[in-house]
Amino acid sequence: MAKILVVDDEESVCWAFEKFLQAEGHDVRTAATAETAISSIADGAFDIVFLDVRLPGMDGLTALEKIKNLQPELYVVVITAHGTMDTAIEAVKRGAFDYLPKPAELGNIRNIIVRIEESRKDASETVELPTGAPPARIDLLVGHSPLMQEVYKKIGAVAPTDASVLIEGESGTGKELVARAIHHASERKKGFFVPVACGALPENLLESELFGHVRGAFTGATADRDGKFQKADGGSLFLDEVGSMSLKAQVKLLRFLQEHEFEKIGSTDKVTVNTRVIAATNEPLLDKVQNGEFREDLYYRLNVIKIELPPLRSRKEDIPLLVSYFLAQAPAGERTGCRTEDKTITKPAMETLTEYDWPGNVRELKNAVEHAAALSHSGPILRTHLPEHVTQEERQDAETRADILARDTIMQLQGGEKLYDTAIGIWEKSLLKHALELNGGNQVATAAFLGISRSTLRKKIADYGL
């Protein structure tokens, strides 16, 4: 049961809300103005407020901001008959949990309350984020897992040398961060770290980008131009997705690694630079060598030291630390003034993050945390704030488990006229039992949680002897 305040200047709307919500088992109060509502909220504890936008005196959006400042944890649902995109956006920006257009359908009201009840339960138990998260820096690797400790050891071992390094790992695992860490831990840190996305440049431009060109070398070459190798002189050149280089560019790269010199496009003059090469790939280069797409001699020149970055699904123990780190990086809310480093996250939300497999790896997790932080406003991050594709996988897993359960039940019961009724009865009884336990035996709360009427729930409790 929730204590609900309905704020609307139309008596008929307040009456309808009051009758419906009371029938659902809630304690309901009404107010005709925002000023009265704010006074009531200051005097008493409410769980949910349904707030009309157009009110006499103070408007609903202004009242919403004042209410959230007064009680940030209060769930406010904005209702209006004059819904526009701007109104919806502004309501959510100011901290509204949801937005309900008039005339409000009873089913929608019930569903919103069920979602709020779930959020309230989740919010009651937050996870203590690791306090050892490093300060937010764009070039920092994060993780204490054994797999990451091995990566750190290799970085420490290779950084003082000038050996070429090949970093292998799936997209989003942080290959450029490893390259930057090697550069900053080396004697070359005073020089430039120059990244080149080899896969993003067409063949004719990549060679010019790397080695430079002289005036007249090709159409459009109106002046001499230095390439990335020269810009990284005394520093480090990072070749991301090196496997996408053309065979012609591979030849010039191999010659540089052997002779430490190259020629600009359109010139026969030798250019000598002191540039360290760090390469990365998201697919094993050896496979490309075997397929004839990458030179074997170049592969071994690049692969003096190999660092393999583990996917996030292999080091899930690092996820809480990464969440803490990304929250410290995320921009604070515009209106709430909430510092993201002070944010909390609920246990169900963290469990969802750690159970998801993260095909996009750390980059995908970072995006998910920023998404959730933006939607959570001043409150804790709930499971409902996470991107839908992250929570959807849990539903797919549940469907898989249900499929296995159905198959096993059929095998056990071996068919029969009452197979359907028996199977549904087994499943439904367990569902009701656990829902009642979750809601402390409260039938009103359980009915709302399941999205069924109290009378239906009472009948099923009697049928199953619960």
Residue 338, pLDDT score: 43
Do 262 and 255 form a contact (C-beta atoms < 8 A)? Answer: yes
Beta strands in 20-94 (DSSP E): 27-31, 48-52, 75-80
Residue 402, pLDDT score: 63
Residue 354, pLDDT score: 93
Residue labelled with tokens 């019930």: 110
Q: What predicted TM-score, i.e. pTM, was given to this entire model?
A: 0.67
Torsion of CA 111, 116, 122, 126, to 10 degrees: 150
Residue 410, pLDDT score: 64
Residue 283, pLDDT score: 87
Residue 243, pLDDT score: 93
Residue 277, pLDDT score: 96
CA–CA gap between residue 101 and residue 309 (Å, rounded): 49
Residue 339, pLDDT score: 46
Do 373 and 332 form a contact (C-beta atoms < 8 A)? Answer: no
Residue 431, pLDDT score: 84
pLDDT 10s per residue in the chain (466 long)? 789 999 999 999 999 999 999 998 899 999 999 999 999 998 878 999 999 988 999 999 999 999 988 888 889 999 877 655 667 767 877 888 888 888 888 888 998 898 888 878 777 777 777 765 555 444 578 888 889 989 999 998 999 999 999 999 999 999 999 999 999 999 999 999 999 999 888 877 888 889 988 887 777 778 888 999 999 999 999 999 999 998 988 999 999 999 989 988 888 899 999 999 999 999 889 999 999 999 999 999 999 999 999 999 999 999 999 999 898 877 654 433 444 456 788 888 999 999 999 999 999 999 999 999 888 876 788 888 899 889 876 555 555 556 656 666 666 656 555 677 777 777 788 888 888 877 778 888 788 878 888 888 888 888 888 8
**What are the residues whose beta carbons fall under 8 Å from the beta carbon of 204, sequence distance 6 or more?**
218
Name the DSSP class of 160: T
Residue 322, pLDDT score: 93
| Backbone φ/ψ region at 465: left (φ over 0), alpha (ψ -120 to 50), beta | left
Residue 337, pLDDT score: 40
DSSP-assigned letters across all residues of 188-250: GGGS-EEEEEGGGS-HHHHHHHHH-B-TTSSTT--S-B--HHHHTTTSEEEEETGGGS-HHHH
Which of 18, 43, 48, 17 has the alpha carbon at shortest distance from 120? 48
Residue 296, pLDDT score: 95
Burial bucket for residue 400 (CB in 10 Å: 0-12, 13-18, 19+): exposed
CA angle 50, 76, 86 (to 5 degrees): 95
All domains of the chain, ordered by start, with CATH? 3-124 (3.40.50.2300), 146-309 (3.40.50.300), 391-464 (1.10.10.60)
